[in-house]
Structure formats: structure tokens, C-alpha cells
Chains A and B, each alone.
Chain A
Amino acid sequence: MSDLVKLTIDDREVEVAKGTGLVETAAAAGIEIPVFCYEPRLGPAVGACRMCLVEVEGMPKLQAGCTLTAQDGMVVHTASTSARAAEGQKGTLEFILVNHPLDCPVCDKGGECPLQDLTFRYGPGSTRMTFPKLTFDKPIPVSPLIALDRERCILCYRCTRFSSDVAEDEQLIARNRGAYSMIATFGDEPYRAPFSGNVIELCPVGALTSTQYRFEARPWEIQDVPTVCGLCPAGCNIRATTREGLVKRVQSRNHPEVDGGWLCDKGRFTFPHLRSDDRVREPLVRGTVGLEPVSWDAALDRAEELLRGAQGKIVTALSGSETTEIAYGLGVLLRRGLGAHSAVLDESTSAALDACRAPLSTIGAAELVVVVGDDEVVDRAPIVDLWLRKARRAGAEIVTIGARGSVPAPVGGAAEALRDLAAADSELGGRLRASDRAILVWSGSGGGGGARLAEAAHALGFEGKPGCAVFHLPARANARGVAEAWAAAADADEADPEPIGLLVVSGDEAAGDPSVRALAERASTVIAITMFHSLAVGWADLVLPATASLEREGTAMNLEGRVQRLRRAVTPPVPDELAWLSKLAERFGVALSPHAAVVFEELSGRIYGGLLLEQLGEHAGLPARRPYEAPEPTPLAHSPEANVPEDHFVGTLRLLRYTPLFSGHQVERVPELQFQRPEREVALSTVDADRRGIATGDLVSLRSNGTSVELRARVDARLVEGVARLADEHAAHLHADVEVVKA
């Protein structure tokens, strides 16, 4: 191939694509060029640490290898064949260690520290520095999640580059100059941003440490379990670090197509909810004085009794966070065993999307991205936000159509916006049609679980173009897998379950869903499968303890349609769902294995195209696109699509609720994450605020149907007129139309 270049590194000839970084080129030849500041995911090399010094023939000075790319005929000598390079590198390492405290024995990074490793390999055995080391106050809480030790910092600027060039939150900065340079935040405000935790992993020394992991474990006494995050539909690949049966931290397990090695703070820091005080650790039955613990045998007896008693008039409320295997198990028990085919799921995902599916990383290479919907991408699938930023940095145009869009649209107007795009006379649609690298994203509720999106992409001719793709961001992590597993568990049509004899609430998202609660009002009895007492009290007749995704074996299908494997990081404090589901199934004469792998084998042929577990591998691939089929009505009864109120009163504003990234029953149970939760505030458009004489920071009152909520106003210049936008958790019982007045 013509774009290959041949060069010599340490007398070894190596052939790579022109433009390959020298560090990677050397690695391809089996030669290490040690680095600290170099991290290609952060953008162009900065050449700051000077650890990578090499000698290049024809260049008078030593060169920072990380800043060079492979050129034809280049002759490079690393420290192993160049005395000058070795001397330069030795000097650099000595400099790096001059002010470093060398407190490895008490440093969390010790044992997995690049500085420690490279010092052992290349560094001097002793120091010639006899002056007092530079000291700083430490540790500084950069936020409740991150501690900063400025003495250990070697100023590689990885963290500040991440903050400014990847997450673009612009919060971490370098302050002062020269030897006194230090990492800081502006005005010493806490580093409050959705992706802050990545700087901990990026830090090549022990300068930025996780407050959750500090002094919790040493690298030789931990086990890392490769699994997949179950908190949003992106399915970022993670490693759960465990020690003595407890999850101690979560780190990225870079899947270049899915997450590019980044994680959001929700995925990274939420694991302590596994050890929440109000975790349900044994089955509970409603007794005379509330919920009372019972034995598992008694619980299963009671479950059987409730299931039989309902005489098939059963509705199952699925969360969409179950593994595909658990959802299938529920389907086997309830549909096959009891003929109870009715289920609700907040949002499902249309299989029609498969015609235009592609890895999320495709977004990063796009030239035009259109995001429709009223929800911020970062709230629904945070990692997608980073891919969008990457695309924009590379020159892509990002158009957002929604209540806060660059193209303003009325609330709930996403479906119409898509129809407009697909119409022949749309300018933007025309450009989408013409582009080979165009992306459509649906970030909001409604839309038939992406069916509208799939239709639009089909109309725009995306199928034949591998660089064009659509992404629907469902509210629940495994919405697609759960819906399909439930559908595949039996063949029968849904019967009318009314009046509801039994409501089976599967999982915490369903248990926390007001519409499921409303359904429970109509049900004679309720079985709740949940992790937390507070989600069970007051309505359940039987409570069966649930497990968390970090405790599960199984698979999940992410928003791309990629099947990924969850591995059990720690043994749950309760039997897992399949264990008792299989026992119950036996009582109803249907066969269900308690082992996720066996259940997978059975369901794979039905919904995963016969995929084998071992095919999922360390990093699961994305199946090929499937021919477009016009979406069928989904087998699940939906909660209503984004409901447009018919009676819009003059002077009232439309309430736009959103579910913030940092919300939900897991986040609520992690004290150190609370600072990330949204402010108690309502956003108003400039026009609506002016009309009411409201300014940012004013206390306002939101009223509807006799309820009222008081919070601070924020004037949001991006918000479309006629809307009051606030987080679900602050909206309480407000109805769709609210009056907003200055309090």
C-alpha cells in the first residue's frame, strides 16, 4: 500500500501507515517509548513531560517521541540504543522525582502507578536533590469525589486537557507558573461536571484519587471483574474492582466503539448503593404491622398463592433494567406458566432501528448530526454527549431540534420535526440525504421507541451508507433486550387483564414510576421485586429482593443493538432473580434454568440470532445491519407518548419534566454524589421570564390544580417560549400546565 512508510527504530525496521504516532510505531516493533503526558485520546500530543525523548538521525536535539509521527526513512534511537536519549530520559525522570514525595507506601496509586513502574525500569536508584522538596497543602478536595495531592502531581496536564478538550467542561485548570504550577478549579469551586471521574483514571500518578477508593485497597489484593454498566442504555464497558467481596471502585474498560474509554460519574461512582442501609436483604410479606421478613420458602409459597389467586389477571411492570435473561425468566414464568401476557415498560426500542445501526463511535467521525427531542443527551446516555463533542471538535455541524434546541421546537414536537426532515423540501433533510457521514439521534420520550427515527432514516436513505446511523436513546438500560425477551418467552396474544388481580413490579425503575403506582391502585395485590425498602413499603403484598447489575450474570442489549455480557462482580447478599424464578416456574410446571448462561442459550436463538456467549468476548461486536422493515406495533402496552395537553390555559406554561443524569434510586443512596444533583430550580425562556418580571435567582412559585412548588428561577436563553422546565424530582405532583409567579 502506498501510504505505508518504512522506518528504523533501534535498528529494527518497521512498516506502519504514514502518520502513525511514533510511540505506537515503536510499540508495533516491540519497543517501548515511555510516556506520562502522552494520551492520544486527549487530542494532539503536548510534549510536556519529556519522558519520551528519543534521538532522530538528522535532528540536532533530542526529540519528544510522542510529538513525532512515522515518516519514511526515519531513523530513530530510543534510550535503549542511544546514550544521549538514555541520558536525557534519565535526567527527565530525575527531574520528575525531584519534588515528588515518593510516598508510595501510603499512596493509593502504588502498585498500579505508571510513575512507579517507569521509575523502576528507567529511573535512578537515588536522588541528588538535597534541598527541601516543594510542598503544597494536601489533599485538596477538588470535589466530594476527587482528592488532589499537588505534591504527587507531575504536571502532565492530562486532567486539564480532559476537562477542556474532551468533556469541554473547562473546570480544571493549571494555576500559577513554573515550579509553582498547580492543578486547580476556578475560584476553588468543586469540579462539578458529568465526566469528572475520568481524570482519576487519566492521572499517571497518585495526584488525583477517588475519595471513594482512598485507602480502601491495594492493587495486589483486588480483583477486577470485566462487566458492563447497567445505569443507562449506552452500556459502557467497565471494570469493577472488588476486594473481599465488595465493589470498591468502577473504572473504564475501554470499548473503542462504545465509550472510547470514558465513563460518566454516574456509572463510575454509584456503586456504593449496593451497600445501602435500606437494601432489601430478605423477602418481606405484608403482615398486620407492615412488611415482615419471612423465609424464602414462605415467600415462594406466598408468591405462588398470589400468582394463582390472580387467575391470569396479572400485569407485569418491567423496568427495562433487568438482564435479558431475567426478563426472559419472568416471561417464562408468567406467560408460559400462567398465561399472563400483559406487561408495561416505560419505553421500548424499535427493532426497525437495526437497518441503520452503527457503533456509537461513528458519531465521532460524522459531519452532520441532528439531535431531536426535548431531553439533553447527557441526561439520557451521557457517553453519547462525549461523542457529539468529539464530532463537533472535528468540524461536524450539530443541529439540535427540541425545546432547548439550536432549532427551537415545541415540547413533544420531535416526531413532527422528523417528518419534516424526511420531507422532500427540507433543506436540512436534503443535506442529511446527501451526506455520507450523517447521524440522527432521538433524545426524548415518545416516538414509538425509535420507530419514528427509523422511518426517517429509511426515508433519508441511511441504510446503504455505513457512515450514516441512527441512535435512539431509551430511558432504560436494557429496554430493548427486556422487551424482546418478554416477547419471545411465549407465543400468545395479550388478553384483557382487567380487573387486575396481581401487579408484578419487576425492578426499581418500575417501582419508582408514578404510572406503575397508579396501576397498583387498580390491582388487588402487588408483588414488588426491588432492592430498597423505601420502594417497597406501602403498596406491596410481597417483596422479593432484587439484585443490582453489578451483581448479575447475563446479557443486555445497548442502544446500538449490541449484545454485551454482564459478569457478576460480587455475590449479591440475596439469591439472584433467576434462582427463585426457576423455583417458582417449577411450581407452575414450566422449565427455567437458574443459570443465566443456560437461559441465554435458550433465548439467543429467539432474539439474538443464535449468538453464542463466547462470541461476545471481551469487547462485544455489533451485529450487521438488518433490512429495514416498517415497524410493527410493539407487543408491549406503552405508557402514553409525550402527552400534549389539549386544554392549554392562557397564561400558563407547559411543564417540561426531565430526568437528570444524577437522579434515580441508586444516585440517591450515594452521599458523595449529592452535589451533582440538579439545583432546585425551574428554567424559563427569556420571554416568559420577562413577561413575569422574573430574573435568574428569583424565588418563584409553580402552581397547578391546587398544588404548588417553590423554587429558584433560571432564565434559559435556549429554552423555547411557553415552557417551564424542571427536574422530575422537583416537579412533585404538578400537572402539565403550571402557573408561574414570583413568590
Chain B
Amino acid sequence: MSSAPEIVFAGTDGGALTELAAYEAVGGLTALRRAREMTPAQIVAELEASQLRGRGGAFFPTGRKWSFLPKPEQNPRPHYLVVNADESEPGTFKDREIMLRVPFRFLEGCLVAARAIESTRVFVYIRGEYLREFEVLVSALEQLRARNLLGDVTIVLHRGAGAYICGEETALLESLEGERGQPRTKPPFPAIAGLYASPTAVNNVESITTVTPIIEMGGAEYAKLGVEDSTGTRVFSLSGNVVRPGNYELPHGYPLRDLIYEVGGGIADGRTLKAVIPGGSSTPILTASEAEKVTLDFDSLSQAGTAIGSAAVIVLDDRCCMVQLGVRVSQFYEHESCGKCTPCRVGTRWLTQILKKIEAGHGTHADLDLLLDVGDHVNGTCLCPLGDSDAIAVASYVAKFREEFLQHIEDGGCPFHGTSSLDGIVAPTDVHEAHAGGAEIHRPLEVVG
């Protein structure tokens, strides 16, 4: 295990702080008290000093995001803080653990953040499947309310209904407003016209939770953790073929190799590392040798042609068929495409179809070219990053493991012959037939009058 300081999970000692008294016993609510003596501008300044960058995946500086919101005197509409707890990027499961184990630190962060943007209205949009997490938050909120700690702030916990796209901030806002969860065009950005066309800050659970220790310790102090451009710690969701998968809070800049072999206990059963997806399914894949060299921070991963994303490290050993990986990942995006913009709606499905054809051994060299070309037409033409993610991920599998794709084509089948570790994992879109329209017959119309 790492001896790095815990920031997000500080004081938990591996457990959960779900009682307010226990949280206060480890220094909880200090940040809230301090923040209430600070002006909003001072809080934002502290955040800017911490150089905290968004933990949801886009890595946008949190303090700067808040500074984009107009002052209430510039825009009299209500200001909103919306917390994105719709965690659903494949491989990512950090926010659920944060909500389960440090719900008060998270809610305290909400109150501090609300003060920073001069808002009294907070919405937490929580993934629908996160029922336990929701209940923990409900309980924590009740405890805060019972102690009158919310001040004039209203925190609403809103459960999503099972759509990955609602993790995209504007789709989330649409969904929160009761509309179909589909992204909006930007501009206007949420800071200017977000929820109900009002100034809105949308932040990830981990970002908001980190606000609390930043106010406690001071931004400058926080910035000493981690590395340049990637300050502080990060909760990494380690999954895949490792001995000890799980969430690990580590400072940015931590070597990926060490995460896998030291923290995660290495690859199981004496197998060898084949590839790593370092930041959730949307990020380009790294080969084993690339993975050995990188550190887990923005710069190092960017230089390696990928991204830290949501810090979901998916480890793949030598049993993984890369074409199957493409099928599974692409199916996910196909299934989760909202259907609003053409390239994503059509392209993700087409990519999946081509990948399936190659996996089944019916692919040709032209299909491989087509796969990349279709991806090129998806990437960069969509309304939001969902379609791009599919195209980028799949393109990286082909770029790094082209030989394996060619093997499928030239040998007319999967070289793993049914032994791939991904074999038999059924993706949701498999249930769809090419004929999507169930019989719908209108009830006979009553002729009136």
C-alpha cells in the first residue's frame, strides 16, 4: 500500500464517516466555518491557488470555472450549483465510494462551493443505480439539516434514470429540468445560461469533495501535493486483471507501473500485462511498454497520446482480444448514444457492426480502413464528446494492436478461439434486432359528433 497522504478519504481509516459526530471528530466542518468567514472571491482565490482541476474527466480548473459565473448583481437570476454524481464512465467507480465513505466532506464541499458562486440552490444529480449512495447522502443531509448547518442553502438530491449521456453536463441539466437527456449546443456555457437558463456551476463529486480539504489546508498547501499542472491527489479506480482492484487515493504523478504492481498487487495468475486504459473507456489505450513509462498525471499521459480522464485505470492482461475490446467499448457508446446528433447516433452503431464483422472473422482489409474512416467522420463532428470517445478509443486499439486486427481478417476468425477474457460478456445492444420498430397500432379512432 502507498503511504501517500489521504486528502479525500482523510480520517476514514479505511472505513466510512457516515455519522456527523464521527466526521466532526476528525476535523469535519472546519472548512465550512472558515468559508463562512470568507468572501466568495476569497474562496475562489483559494481554489485557484490550489490549482484543482476537474475530476470528472475534462480536467478544467475548478476555480476558473467558478470565476466565469456572473456576480448576482450582473445577473439577478438564481445561481445554481449542480453536482455531477452521474458517474457512469466504464471503469470509473470512485464517486460512489466518496459518497459512501465521506458523505459529509462531500456535502460540506457543496456548501462551500455554493458560497463561492453565491448560490443557495444545490442540485446533486446522482446516478439512478446508486441507491445505497443516495440513501447515505439522504441520511447525511438529514443530519446536517437537524443541526441547522445548511444555512440558507437548499440541497436537492435528484436521481437519474439510467443514461450515461446525463453525465455530460448540458444533458444533465436538460434531464434535471425534466427534459429528454440530450446535450445542448455550447455556447452558451452553463456558467452563463445553465439550469433554467441561469448561471450554473457544474462540478464532479470528487472535485467538490476536494474543495473541503483545500479550504481546510489552504490552496497553496494543497498545490504542493502532486506534480506541476496536476496538483493534489486523485482517487484512482483500478480494475481489470489485477490482484487487488479497487479505489486508491494517490498523488498525481504516481507511476502507473507502481499502481498496477505495488498498489494493485500486479497481474493475477502469473499472466503478463498487455495494455492499460488509463482514464476510463473514453481514453486511448496504452501498450504494456508504454504503461511502464508513464506517470498518472495530465502531462505525462498527454505526452503518451492519451488522457487521465476520470482516473479509471483498466488493466488488461494477455488474454484480452483487442477486437472484442473494441466491440464491447463501441457497443457501450452505441447503446448510450442519445440519438440527437447524426454522426454519433449512426456512427457508433456502424463502428460496432464493422467491429463485430471483423471479430467474427468476416472482415476484410477494406473493413479495417472503413472502420478508421467512419471513426474519423465521427470524431470531431458530434455535438458532444460521446461519439468522439468511441472513435478515439477504437482508433487507438487499431493503432496499437493493428496486427491483432489483421490476424482476425487474414485468419478468418478470432485468434483467441473463444478463450479471450472478454468472451461471453454480453453487451446491452446485442438484444436489439435490426428491426427496431415494435408493432404499434393506434387504437381505433372514435368518430365523434
- Complex Cα gap A141–B341 (Å): 26
Contact B448 A177 (CB under 8 A): no
- Complex Cα gap A53–B185 (Å): 13
Quick check: is B435 within 8 A (CB to CB) of the other chain?
yes
A295 to chain B, nearest CB (A): 37
Partner-binding segment picked from B113-121, B147-155, B379-387: B379-387
- Complex Cα gap A46–B339 (Å): 13
**Which A positions have Cβ atoms within 8 angstroms of B?**
45-51, 53, 61-62, 64, 67, 87-88, 90-92, 94-96, 98-99, 128-129, 131-138, 140-141, 143-144, 150, 154-155, 157, 173-174, 176-182, 184, 188-190, 674-675, 677-680, 729-730
Q: Given A134-B436, A177-B163, list of 5 further CB < 8 A pairs?
A: A48-B340, A87-B377, A94-B377, A157-B340, A179-B436
Can you name the residue of chain B whose Cβ is closest to the Cβ of A668? Answer: B449
- Complex Cα gap A12–B446 (Å): 59
- Complex Cα gap A188–B334 (Å): 26
Task: Assess A155 versus B449: contact at CB under 8 Å? Given A50-B382, A88-B380, A174-B180.
Answer: no
Chain B residues whose CB sits within 8 angstroms of the CB of A137 once the complex forms: 437-440
What are 28 sample pairs from A and B whose C-beta atoms fall under 8 A apart?
A47-B185, A49-B341, A50-B342, A88-B377, A91-B376, A92-B342, A92-B343, A92-B377, A92-B381, A94-B377, A128-B370, A134-B435, A136-B435, A137-B438, A137-B439, A137-B440, A177-B338, A178-B334, A178-B348, A179-B337, A181-B339, A188-B441, A188-B443, A189-B443, A190-B442, A190-B445, A675-B446, A677-B448
Contact of A155 among B342, B347, B380 (CB under 8 A): B342
Contact A95 B377 (CB under 8 A): yes
Chain A residues whose CB sits within 8 angstroms of the CB of B347 once the complex forms: 95
Chain A residues whose CB sits within 8 angstroms of the CB of B338 once the complex forms: 177-178, 181
Contact B345 A179 (CB under 8 A): yes
**B: number of interface residues (CB 8 Å):** 46
Can you name the residue of chain B whose Cβ is closest to the Cβ of A730? Answer: B449
Can you name the residue of chain B whose Cβ is closest to the Cβ of A66? Answer: B185
- Complex Cα gap A92–B378 (Å): 8
Contact B349 A178 (CB under 8 A): yes
Can you name the residue of chain B whose Cβ is closest to the Cβ of A141? Answer: B442
Contact A679 B448 (CB under 8 A): yes
Chain A residues whose CB sits within 8 angstroms of the CB of B376 once the complex forms: 91
For the residues of B in contact with A, the DSSP-based class is loop
Chain B residues whose CB sits within 8 angstroms of the CB of A88 once the complex forms: 377, 380-381
Task: Assess A678 versus B448: contact at CB under 8 Å? Given A99-B346, A154-B342.
Answer: yes
For the residues of A in contact with B, the DSSP-based class is loop
- What 1/0 flags go to B422-442 for Cβ under 8 Å of A? 000000000010111111111
Can you name the residue of chain A whose Cβ is closest to the Cβ of B369? Answer: A128
Quick check: is B96 within 8 A (CB to CB) of the other chain?
no
Quick check: is B447 within 8 A (CB to CB) of the other chain?
yes
Chain B residues whose CB sits within 8 angstroms of the CB of A674 once the complex forms: 447-449
Contact A178 B443 (CB under 8 A): no
- Complex Cα gap A87–B376 (Å): 10
Contact B381 A53 (CB under 8 A): yes
- Complex Cα gap A51–B341 (Å): 10
Contact of B432 among A92, A96, A129, A180 (CB under 8 A): A180
B448 to chain A, nearest CB (A): 5
Can you name the residue of chain A whose Cβ is closest to the Cβ of B349? Answer: A179
Quick check: is B335 within 8 A (CB to CB) of the other chain?
yes
Contact B383 A64 (CB under 8 A): yes
- Complex Cα gap A188–B442 (Å): 6
Contact B185 A62 (CB under 8 A): no
Contact of B448 among A131, A176, A184, A680 (CB under 8 A): A680
The 3 closest A-B pairs by CB, nearest first: A91-B377, A136-B437, A181-B339
Quick check: is B86 within 8 A (CB to CB) of the other chain?
no
Contact A132 B434 (CB under 8 A): yes
Chain A residues whose CB sits within 8 angstroms of the CB of B381 once the complex forms: 50, 53, 62, 88, 91-92
Chain B residues whose CB sits within 8 angstroms of the CB of A675 once the complex forms: 445-448
Can you name the residue of chain B whose Cβ is closest to the Cβ of A662? Answer: B449
Can you name the residue of chain A whose Cβ is closest to the Cβ of B179? Answer: A164
Contact B185 A133 (CB under 8 A): no
Contact B345 A178 (CB under 8 A): yes
Quick check: is B336 within 8 A (CB to CB) of the other chain?
yes
Contact of B434 among A90, A92, A133 (CB under 8 A): A133
Chain B residues whose CB sits within 8 angstroms of the CB of A150 once the complex forms: 437
Chain A residues whose CB sits within 8 angstroms of the CB of B374 once the complex forms: 91
Task: Assess A50 versus B438: contact at CB under 8 Å? Given A144-B445, A679-B448, A729-B449.
Answer: no
Quick check: is B350 within 8 A (CB to CB) of the other chain?
yes
Quick check: is B353 within 8 A (CB to CB) of the other chain?
yes
A710 to chain B, nearest CB (A): 14
Can you name the residue of chain B whose Cβ is closest to the Cβ of A187? Answer: B443
Contact of A181 among B345, B432, B442 (CB under 8 A): B345
Contact of A178 among B337, B438, B449 (CB under 8 A): B337
